[in-house]
Structure 1
Amino acid sequence: MASSLTCTGVIWALLSLLSAAASCVGFFMPYWLLGTQMDKPVSFGTFRRCSYPVRDEERQMTVMLEQCGRYASFHGIPSLQWRICTVVTGVGCGLLLLVALTALMGCCISDLISRTIGRVAGGIQFVGGLLIGSGCALYPLGWDSEEVRQTCNNSSDQFKLGKVSSHVDSFEFVWMFCSQR
């Protein structure tokens, strides 16, 4: 099979695939915020959460359902900022995947990617990265929602999360986690 990419282009294609996969996995996983509710570990992201309180009508009490799942509807996402973050970050991940898969096909098909197409693909990757970064920047604006307050022991606010630790992934996004330690 002939390739339309140089050695540098092949490295770009592989790194594009790895970064797109890491972005999509990070977007999909519900571990953006970690905390406790009713002495059970709770975590959630923009559109998924693990361990959440539900009303048990038989026992007439609230119990923790210890499983992961999506919010029932788009409007079930706790805040407007998180809804925007979900859309913007999802579009960014989609753009990164589009470019990565196109670049990967360019490794196998000759004359698929020209210099101009490579530059356009790089521009699309840049826009995708900006969308993911801006979506992650919007995420903290939803930290004053009721769900976050409950998870962070009713002490969180937009700029006050209580005890917080952070780490940086390969795209230099800062993800914050609540902890009750």
Structure 2
Amino acid sequence: MSREIAYSTEVTKLRHNKYLWASRVITVMWAILTVCFAILNAVAFVQAQWLGDTTESPGVGFFGLYEYCETLQVDGDYSCKGDFMSFDTILNDSFRAASMLVGISALLFIVSVVCLLLFFFLKADKVLKICGWLQLIASLCIMTGCIVYPSGWDDPMVRKVCGKEAAKYNWGRCNMRWAFILSIVLIFDGFVLSFLAFMLAKRQANLLPKYKEEKSVAIANGGYNASINGSFVNPVMYPEEEKQPQPFSTFHTPYSQDEVDNKDEVFEAYDRDQDIRL
């Protein structure tokens, strides 16, 4: 019986260690992706390559969230204007709102990276939940910013570069640049990271798996609960071993064990017992 209990305990430990190792590996991968996302989000925020000219554009230039650059000569130097710290220099309200939303998204992801240090002070599930909520809000912000940004393409400066065809959600003769595409990809990545954080938090809340199926099988086979160090373990049920014939020296007598220390005394005790019964 003790062998069955020891085997069950060892299997439970192996499963627990494997479960814990896999959970830690996924958590480390999630943390690395969070750092990469924060860097890419900051790059997309500061870059002015959101909308730019093409070979068919009447003007030469490109636009970002808060900065725009143009030139009157094809091979000339670009003149960039716009400052996030001074909203008056941003072209229109749509660009201002988009820059604010994407900036908040970048800030929240930077905060989530800083929150990774909380793993040294708080439980893992609590840290993952905090980071998950931050990432979810940041993803919503960058998604809203990408939706609001094209509504400012009817600005006179945008039409000067992209042509008179440019209007709200219509880039005219310009085209989408890599920073805008990167921001759209980051929307999906942010939601995936937040979902992964919540999933890991749920797994961290109960690292020791529950074996309900084994428990039900043990009960169906007439299982029992064994206590080890005050905790109950459901041992793995093995097929019944062949019953060995009971040694003769172990028969029950009305006398105590001290009175039958050897085989001779056992036979004498057995004879006395038979005489008494007769």
Which TM-score applies when normalising by structure 1? 0.73
User: Which is higher, the Rg of structure 1 or of structure 2?
Assistant: 2
- Match of 2:61, SS state, is strand
2:94–2:152 contact (8 Å) kept in structure 1: yes
- Match of 1:157, SS state, is coil
Counterpart residue identity of residue 70, structure 1:
G
Counterpart residue identity of residue 33, structure 1:
L
Counterpart residue identity of residue 152, structure 2:
G
1:16–1:96 contact (8 Å) kept in structure 2: yes
Asked whether 1:42 is paired with 2:61, we answer: yes
User: How far, CA to CA, are the matches of 1:113 and 1:91 in structure 2?
Assistant: 27
User: How far, CA to CA, are the matches of 2:175 and 2:69 in structure 1?
Assistant: 20
1:96–1:129 contact (8 Å) kept in structure 2: no
1:20–1:100 contact (8 Å) kept in structure 2: yes
Structure 2 counterpart of 1:91? 104
C-alpha distance after superposition, 1:63-110 (max 9, x if no partner): x7624443493122111111111111101110011102322x35xx63
Structure 1 residues 46 and 128, CA gap change in structure 2 (3 angstroms):
same
Structure 1 residues 28 and 150, CA gap change in structure 2 (3 angstroms):
same
- Match of 1:171, SS state, is helix
Counterpart residue identity of residue 40, structure 2:
A
Structure 1 residues 77 and 113, CA gap change in structure 2 (3 angstroms):
farther
> How is 1:6-25 mapped onto 2 (pairs within 5 angstroms)?
6-25=24-43
State the 1:165 CA deviation. Answer: 4.7
Greater RCO, CA 8 A, separation 6+: 1
Counterpart residue identity of residue 27, structure 2:
G
Unaligned runs of 5+ in 2: 1-22, 189-278
State the 1:32 CA deviation. Answer: 0.5
> How is 1:23-172 mapped onto 2 (pairs within 5 angstroms)?
23-35=41-53, 41-51=60-70, 66-71=78-83, 73-103=86-116, 105=117, 110-112=120-122, 114-163=124-173, 165-166=175-176, 168-169=181-182, 170-171=185-186
User: How far, CA to CA, are the matches of 2:173 and 2:187 in structure 1?
Assistant: 21
Identical counterparts, % of pairs: 24
Counterpart residue identity of residue 38, structure 2:
A
User: How far, CA to CA, are the matches of 1:48 and 1:26 in structure 2?
Assistant: 12
User: How far, CA to CA, are the matches of 2:169 and 2:144 in structure 1?
Assistant: 18
State the 1:10 CA deviation. Answer: 1.2
Counterpart residue identity of residue 13, structure 1:
A
Q: Which has the higher strand share?
A: 1
User: How far, CA to CA, are the matches of 1:135 and 1:159 in structure 2?
Assistant: 13
State the 1:156 CA deviation. Answer: 0.5
Structure 1 residues 14 and 113, CA gap change in structure 2 (3 angstroms):
farther
- Match of 1:144, SS state, is coil
Structure 1 residues 122 and 39, CA gap change in structure 2 (3 angstroms):
same
Structure 1 residues 44 and 51, CA gap change in structure 2 (3 angstroms):
same
Select between 156-165 and 77-86 the one with higher mean Cα deviation.
Answer: 156-165
Select between 93-102 and 151-160 the one with higher mean Cα deviation.
Answer: 151-160
Which TM-score applies when normalising by structure 2? 0.49
2:95–2:152 contact (8 Å) kept in structure 1: yes
